[in-house]
Each structure stands twice: as structure tokens, then as C-alpha cells.
């Protein structure tokens, strides 16, 4: 594993290695044990999209690993003023030890990895959100003790989160059902890739417009905001289309009794999910958010530590 760009690039062994190290680092930090695996290393964090969880989890995580997190907004670097990805990648490779980028265009992440000489981590693009889904799957593993054979139900917009969930679940052998309205389905190429991976891992992929079908007998129910950054002008239209996909008590009752609820946050209570679900006893959203840091620490350590 040279970079973390797409979960489709990872093997099952990569997932296991990330989760095992995440578990170890989480236990150590809870016990007050220092683990400066990246002592003297610097991570450049490029943000062209604002964030709460991504910035704080990477910044604090890098500090706990003994390294230095360098925040770079689009206003701080020449990339936001027309410098090429090639030049940016070449220059940063001379200064720092790794790059995390949270941006719009997925190709920017691919090009940074292509033209630079240091590890690149995809912190989010409009197409994928691999770090989030690794934290999600790690959270499910903590709660359920396994992943293979479980059923994940994703209800709502077929966005970057849903795309990476397809990749992740297919790789680890977890059944996944995605319910999205017509015109808001997951990326077609990612669906093809996920189905290929599912054949190898032996899991089932269900793509439907019916949220009831998706949620039936699910072990995990997942949703995300209906209006992502850059889609604010579509809020009224999207709200009408997605309201039948709201995760509420009635929909949740179709899942298994011990099902858990996940949401990558930020959440808009009363829209994609009701308060009684997101704030209820089966919600694991804050464990999920915390695990962003532990899993990303594992990713950074595996990519940037001395071999």
C-alpha cells in the first residue's frame, strides 16, 4: 500500500492490517501510552473543502504519532491560484513526508500520487471518501465482532460515502444494500468494481429504489446528508425527493433488533434521520466519529513510518 486513494485498491490483508493497528493504537492512547511512530515526520494537509472531523482527526492524530501536521488551505498555497498539480506534487515531495488532501475533483488526488514521490491520502473527493468508510467498518467490527456475513443498508443519496461503502463492503465480504432514488444512484464504474470484488469475497450487493427492501434484516443502517457541499441551491428539490428515504422509527423497525445506526456527520436532524434514531441507544455516530482518528493514525503510520 503506497497510497490511500480508493478502497478498491486495497486487499483484504490491507483492511486487516489497518484494523489491527487501529485497535492497538486506540488501546494505547486510552491507556496514556505514547506511540511516536512518525517522530520527525510532516504531513501536509491540503483543504479545498472545509471540514470538522477530517481536519481535527488528522491533526490530532499526527500529533499523537509524534509528527507535525501542516494545514494548507487553498488560500495558502499556489495550487489554489493556478499552479499545476505536477509542480505542487514535485515541490511538496522535497519538503514533507506525506499528503492528505480533501478536495472536489478525484483526479487531483490521483495526480498528486502520480507526480509526487510521497504517500497521498484521500481525505475526501466528490467521488470517494475512503478514510470515512474505513472508520465506519472498524466501528462495525468493534460493535459486532465481525464484518463478513453482516448486512449494511445505506439509504439516501448515492454519493461519495455510498460509493466507498460499496467498495469497502465488497472487499471485506459484507453484504450491502443501497437504496437511492432514480437519478441519484451510485457511480456506475464503482458499481461494476464493487460487483467484481463481491464475487471474490462472496457477499451480496443489492441496488434498489426501495428503502424498505434495503433495510430489511440489516445489521447496520447508514445514511448521509441529502445536500452535500456545493449542492445548496438544490436543497428544496432534494428534500422533496429524499424525504421518503428518511431513517425513522418505522424504517428502522425493519432491521434486526440489534442493528446499529451510522452517519458520517454533519447530520441534519429531522431530514435524513429523526432525532429518536440518531440520538437513540442504537446510534454509534460518536464512536464512529472518534474512530476516524484512530483509523487514520493507522493509515498514516503504515504509509509514512520507516519500513
36 with 108, same domain: the answer is yes
Is residue 12 located within the same domain as residue 146?
A: no
Binding residues: 51-54, 78, 102, 129-132, 160, 224, 228-229, 264-265, 292
pLDDT of residue 234: 87
CATH number at residue 148: 3.40.50.1370
* Same-domain pairing of 106 and 189: no
Answer yes or no: 263 catalytic: no
In this structure, the answer to whether residues 170 and 88 fall within a common structural domain is no
Q: Which domain holds residue 41?
A: 3-129+291-304
**Residue 303: how many other CB atoms lie within 10 Å:** 19
3 as an active site residue: the answer is: no
Burial class (CB in 10 A: 0-12, 13-18, 19+), 68: middle
Residue 64 and residue 210 in one domain: no
Residues 142 and 274 in one domain: yes
Residues 245 and 295 in one domain: no
As annotated, the binding site for L-ornithine includes 160, 224, 228-229
Burial class (CB in 10 A: 0-12, 13-18, 19+), 210: middle
* 210: CB partners within 8 A, 6+ apart: 179
pTM of the predicted structure, to 2 decimals: 0.96
Catalytic-labelled residue, pool 167, 238, 263, 292 = 292
Q: Do residue 11 and residue 142 come from a single domain?
A: no
238 noted as active-site residue: no
- Residue 80 has a pLDDT of 61
Pair 287, 135: CB distance under 8 Å? no
Are 273 and 299 in a shared domain?
no
Known catalytic residue at 292: yes
pLDDT tens per residue, the chain (307 residues)? 999 999 999 999 999 999 999 999 999 999 999 999 999 999 999 999 989 999 999 999 999 999 999 999 888 888 767 789 999 999 999 999 999 999 999 999 999 999 999 999 999 999 999 999 999 999 999 999 999 999 999 999 999 999 999 999 999 999 999 999 999 999 999 999 999 999 999 999 999 999 999 999 999 999 999 988 777 888 999 999 999 999 999 999 999 999 999 999 999 999 999 999 999 999 999 999 999 999 999 999 999 997 5
pLDDT computed for residue 307 by the predictor: 59
Residues forming the annotated binding site for carbamoyl phosphate?
51-54, 78, 102, 129-132, 264-265, 292
Strand spans (E) along 52-150: 68-73, 98-102, 120-124
Say if residue 88 is in the same domain as residue 124: yes
Cell of residue 129, nine digits: 471518501
Catalytic residue among 169, 186, 203, 264: 264
Q: Which of 97, 106, 108, 132 is catalytic?
A: 132
Residue 55 annotated in active site? no
CA 284 to chain centre: 15
Among candidate residues 3, 55, 102, 106, the one labeled active-site is 102
Residues 6+ apart with CB under 8 A from 110: 5
Q: Which residues pair with 122 in a beta bridge?
A: 101
The one catalytic residue among 129, 167, 263, 294: 129
Number of domains in the chain: 2
Helix (H) or strand (E) holding 214: helix 211-215
137 and 85 fall within a common domain: no
Residues 118, 24 within the same domain: yes
To the query of whether residue 102 is one of the catalytic residues in this protein, the response is yes
Q: First and final CA of the chain: distance in angstroms?
A: 12
Amino acid at each position: 500500500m503506497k497510497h490511500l486513494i480508493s478502497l478498491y485498491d486495497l486487499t483484504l490483508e490491507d483492511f486487516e492490517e489497518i484494523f489491527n493497528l487501529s485497535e492497538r493504537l486506540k488501546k494505547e492512547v486510552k491507556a496514556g501510552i505514547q506511540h511516536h511512530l512518525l517522530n520527525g515526520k510532516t504531513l501536509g494537509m491540503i483543504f479545498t473543502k472545509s471540514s470538522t472531523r477530517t481536519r481535527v482527526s488528522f491533526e490530532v492524530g499526527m500529533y499523537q504519532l509524534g509528527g507535525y501536521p501542516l494545514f494548507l488551505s487553498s488560500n495558502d498555497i499556489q495550487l489554489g491560484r493556478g499552479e499545476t498539480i505536477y509542480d505542487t506534487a514535485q515541490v511538496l515531495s522535497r519538503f514533507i513526508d506525506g499528503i492528505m488532501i480533501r478536495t472536489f475533483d478525484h483526479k487531483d488526488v490521483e495526480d498528486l500520487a502520480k507526480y509526487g514521490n510521497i504517500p497521498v491520502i484521500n481525505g475526501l473527493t466528490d467521488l470517494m471518501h475512503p478514510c470515512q468508510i474505513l472508520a465506519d467498518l472498524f466501528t462495525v467490527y468493534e460493535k459486532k465482532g465481525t464484518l463478513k456475513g453482516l448486512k449494511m443498508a445505506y439509504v439516501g443519496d448515492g454519493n461519495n460515502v455510498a460509493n466507498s461503502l460499496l467498495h469497502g463492503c465488497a472487499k471485506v465480504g459484507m453484504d450491502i444494500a443501497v437504496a437511492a432514488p432514480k437519478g441519484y444512484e451510485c457511480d456506475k464504474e464503482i458499481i461494476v468494481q464493487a460487483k467484481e470484488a463481491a464475487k471474490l469475497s462472496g457477499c451480496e450487493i443489492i441496488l434498489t429504489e426501495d428503502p424498505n427492501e434495503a433495510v430489511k434484516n440489516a445489521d447496520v443502517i447508514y445514511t448521509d446528508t441529502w445536500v452535500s457541499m456545493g449542492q445548496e441551491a438544490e436543497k428544496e428539490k432534494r428534500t422533496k425527493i429524499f424525504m421518503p428515504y428518511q431513517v425513522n422509527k418505522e424504517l428502522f423497525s425493519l432491521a434486526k433488533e440489534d442493528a446499529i445506526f451510522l452517519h458520517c456527520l454533519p447530520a441534519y436532524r429531522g431530514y435524513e434521520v429523526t432525532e429518536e434514531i440518531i440520538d437513540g441507544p442504537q446510534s454509534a455516530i460518536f464512536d464512529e466519529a472518534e474512530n476516524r482518528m484512530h483509523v487514520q493514525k493507522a493509515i498514516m503510520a503504515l504509509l509514512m513510518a520507516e519500513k
